[in-house]
Amino acid sequence: MGNLLFSPNGRVNPSDFFKGMMILAVISAVISFSGLISFQISQILGFVSLLLIIPFFMLLIKRSHDAGKSGWMSIVWFILWIVIFMILGMLMSTIMPSAAETEFKAAMEAAAENGAGLGEIMSMTKEFGPAIAKEGAIPSAIAGLVGTAIAAFVINALNKRDEHENQYGPAS
């Protein structure tokens, strides 16, 4: 598993790529669910989750290699994943709107009209943050799981597998 997620060398077949992507998506969903437990923990884990980009790129690079393409192609696949994730995030926020987020936006608009300073804005963020994290945990986890599955499927469909040995190694 370490070679699958932490090395850019070699190739990964479509099914192992999908499995690796779903492992990362489940880890991300667990991190999203931490918002239901504690706002502070979810903030810390949210920053730690940025480290998931490393194994994500390792998978994308190896999947590109399996199709006989340069690892630089992983940037295109990453952008595709971001677009899919953003679309699903917007859909989820429409389907499952957050009351706390709506209240926060209204409070921010009122504060902006009254010329609020940075301290007041930070205070409002601290006040509304825990409720927004709790209400957004489940939609965020769902969007992440579904978005990653769709992205993995599309990437596999667009990256036709090179069944023979290529410059990146033998077919796995």
Domain ranges of the chain: 2-158
| pLDDT band at residue 117 under the 50/70/90 scheme | confident
Give mean pLDDT, residues 23-30.
94
Give mean pLDDT, residues 42-71.
93
Give mean pLDDT, residues 102-131.
87
Tell whether the model's pLDDT for residue 81 goes beyond 80: yes
Residue owning tokens 């023979």: 164
Bridge-partner residues for 166, per DSSP? 169
pLDDT at 1: 61
Contact 4, 16 (CB under 8 A): yes
pLDDT at 18: 97
Residue 146 token pair: 């579904």
| pLDDT band at residue 26 under the 50/70/90 scheme | very high
Contact 146, 115 (CB under 8 A): no
pLDDT at 139: 87
pLDDT at 132: 87
In b/e form, how buried is each residue of 140-149, taking b as 16+ CB within 10 angstroms?
Answer: bbbbbbbbbe
Contact 149, 25 (CB under 8 A): yes
In b/e form, how buried is each residue of 83-96, taking b as 16+ CB within 10 angstroms?
Answer: ebbeebbeebeeee
- Give dist(CA 24, CA 26) in Å, integer: 5
pLDDT at 15: 95
Q: How many residues does the chain have?
A: 172
Residue owning tokens 């579904």: 146
